[in-house]
Amino acid sequence: MDKDKAKKRIEKLKKLIEKYRYAYHVLDKPLASDAVNDSLKHELQDLENKFPQFITPDSPTQRVGGEPLKQFQKVVHRAPMLSLTDNFSLKENLEWEKRNEKMLGRKPNSYFAEMKIDGLAVALHYQNGVFTQGLTRGDGKVGEDVTENLKTIESIPLHINADLSFEARGEVYMKNDVFNKLNKTYKKQGKPILANPRNGAAGSVRQLNPRLASERKLSFMGYDILINEKIINQNEELRLKIQNLKTHKDKHKLLKQLGFVVAEGKECKDLNEVQKFYESVDKKRDKLDFQIDGVWIGVDSNTDFEKLGVVGKAPRGAIAYKFPAQEKTTILKDIINQIGRTGRITPVAIMEPVNLAGTTVTRATLHNWEEIEKKDIRVGDTIIVRKAGDIIPEVVKSISELRSAQSKKLIAPKECPNCYKPLQKRKADQIDLYCLDTSCGQTKIKQLIHFVSKKAFDIDGLGRKIIEQLYSVGLVKDEADIFKLKQSDLAPLERFAEKSSQNIIDAIQRAKEITLARFIFSLGILHIGEVASSSIALDFSSGKKIIVPYEFCQAIKLRSQDEWMMIRDFGPEGARALYLYFQKPENAKKMIDLTKLGIKLKLPDKKLQTLKNKTFVLTGELETFTRETAENEIRLRGGLASSSISKDTDFLVVGKNPGSKLAKAQKLNAKIISEKELLKLFK
């Protein structure tokens, strides 16, 4: 290839790679697979190696090209990067509005609200459309030059298709899945793990070696733009947009047009609309693939924003409306040991009450005793406790600097706190301690609660407290006893009226016919969850539509562990656990007892297996079904319902406000369908 052809080819490749980058990062609509993208970049690299005279600073090949630095240079910001005042309630927002109303002589016409990314603020300088310099916020007046590290971030365009000089401001952040993968790798390699995604992003941007920063796979979202020069651009549409940047909303639109990813935002006519946006974001933040710590709220009019000015180091025209704290300190009062349905011992922290993520909590998990010893957590310590979404709070660490002389170090228990039998590890290399006595009361209660739970027999009215009560008075000692209950057994008990006791008996009778998949799940077999239970049911062969537990038990015994391992989504641990469960005499007796009590198992109809071996993942809010109902319908038709996207996913069903699964499914080329399309598949 001669020079002229090489130059033209290089330019075409650069434009196409940028087009793919914009579609993937900004529009969230990939136009090509990663393999195709990598192939184009490889060709570009080869051509630039042969014709180095055509290498430009904005080439995709120059994202990782800088040599390691000895230190970062300090640079004065062209305009201060201000911090924000934090608000935590609608009341505080209304007070902020009143102060601004006094200064403006009226209420602002509208507000703009957007997700506030929990990352590292940076400023990106572009000269004539080319990214030339990137700075950290620093102290707001002076930042550090981290240009080479910021170049490694794919969502930052190295060149925009406009002869424009400007400064884009935004947040560098680390996605949750990247953070989790990095920590798994670091743990295997014996390296220190990252504390959280924000620290991971900040530490990565300040790596002196750009190649190390590149390995962290960071992302960027823009939130503001400062036009440095009034350039009359040949692009008339862009020129008019620059001249008419009247609101923050306009800035968002321009940033997106220039090739930047921007956070989800909305123009709001008043603070009531802002509050609705805040609440909607709060509901879905645990489904996002990145961390946010609140909502940015600003006076939408640029003129009003400038007029309001600055107080201290914060603009008057904007605030950070923060979510309730998800991490706080409190005092550890005691550690108790809870027993799960498998006999696993979980140490639980008993704490001084603390308001966390909007709720008062007094307990938090400590995971296992090895973790307690590793973190040196003692009774009486000041501890950091964290809550994420609906997950049970966890103790992150102890603050040893605040430890008193009275702090008490506890050791791992040797006996079950309920039956006092010796605790053991299932395997020598395992961390968790177990009570392996099947007659242990607490283990049995947890098994019974699982047996009647929504995803198993789904017996309405039999919750945790009722099961504990029935067990304590001796009415229910095992699963079969539930189906022996009579209205006269329940009526005399505390909390039971005649009507409520009869309702429970009726619910028990209705539950006697159950799908095979739900029955298998109800047994609580180690390593056998919902997906594995569905796989077993689909693979089960019988000439009947309904069988009884004893028949199922006998048929299971005929198959070896190796045969069970042939089933999709079934590993060696699950196969072994399933095989051993039905070999035990007490479990065989349970199947006989349940059969005598009239339990019937509905097998999947082979004629209706229209979705056989197809894996579905659901994301967002469904209108016609609850998620659980939709997953059951999928399983009834031979499909597999999974909670996470993988290369085996065939369909992603998208409802309202989908989470990060959508982008991952697009990347893996899974078929994306709506709820209406799912309904058609059910017919």
84 is in an annotated binding site: yes
Cα dihedral sign for 309, 314, 320, 322?
A: negative
Supply the DSSP string of 447-462, one letter for each residue: HHHHHTSTTTT--TT-
SS3 (DSSP) at 368:
coil
Task: In whole angstroms, give the CA distance from residue 393 to residue 378.
Answer: 18
No. of helices (H) and no. of strands (E), the chain = 26, 25
CA torsion sign, 466 to 471 to 472 to 474?
Answer: positive
Residue 435 labeled ligand binder: yes
Active site annotation includes 614: no
Angle made by CA atoms 647, 650, 655, in degrees to the nearest 5: 110
Give yes or no for a contact between 173 and 291, defined as CB atoms under 8 angstroms apart.
yes
| Residue 90 assigned ligand-binding role | no
Task: Give the helix/strand (H/E) hosting 679.
Answer: helix 675-682
Sheet of strand 513-515, all strands in order from the earlier edge strand to the far edge = 513-515, 600-602, 546-547
419 annotated binding-site participant: yes
Structural contact between residues 63 and 158, judged by C-beta atoms closer than 8 angstroms: yes
- Looking at the DSSP bridge assignments, the partners of residue 319 are 85, 297
Question: Of the candidates 492, 467, 487, 489, which has an alpha carbon nearest to the alpha carbon of residue 478?
Answer: 467
Q: Which residues, at least 6 apart from 326, have a Cβ–Cβ distance to it below 8 Å? A: 356, 357, 386, 387, 388
Give the whole-angstrom CA distance, residue 307 versus residue 319: 16
If we measure between CA atoms, which residue out of 223, 198, 217 comes closest to residue 120? 198
Are the beta carbons of 534 and 635 closer than 8 angstroms? yes
Name the one residue in this structure whose structure tokens are 């960027």.
Answer: 220
553 assigned to a ligand binding site = no
Report whether 671 belongs to an annotated binding site: no
Q: Is 268 known to sit in a ligand binding site? A: no
User: Is 83 annotated to bind ligand?
Assistant: yes
- Going by C-alpha positions, the residue among 455, 420, 612 that lies closest to residue 528 is 455
Catalytic residue among 116, 151, 446, 590, which? Answer: 116
Count the neighbouring beta carbons within 10 Å of the beta carbon of residue 12. Answer: 12
What is the C-alpha separation between 317 and 389, in angstroms, rounded?
Answer: 31
Q: Which residues are annotated as a binding site for Zn(2+)?
A: 416, 419, 435, 440
Q: Which residues are annotated as a binding site?
A: 83-84, 114, 137, 171, 322, 416, 419, 435, 440
Q: Which residues are annotated as a binding site for NAD(+)?
A: 83-84, 114, 137, 171, 322
Annotated catalytic residues are 116
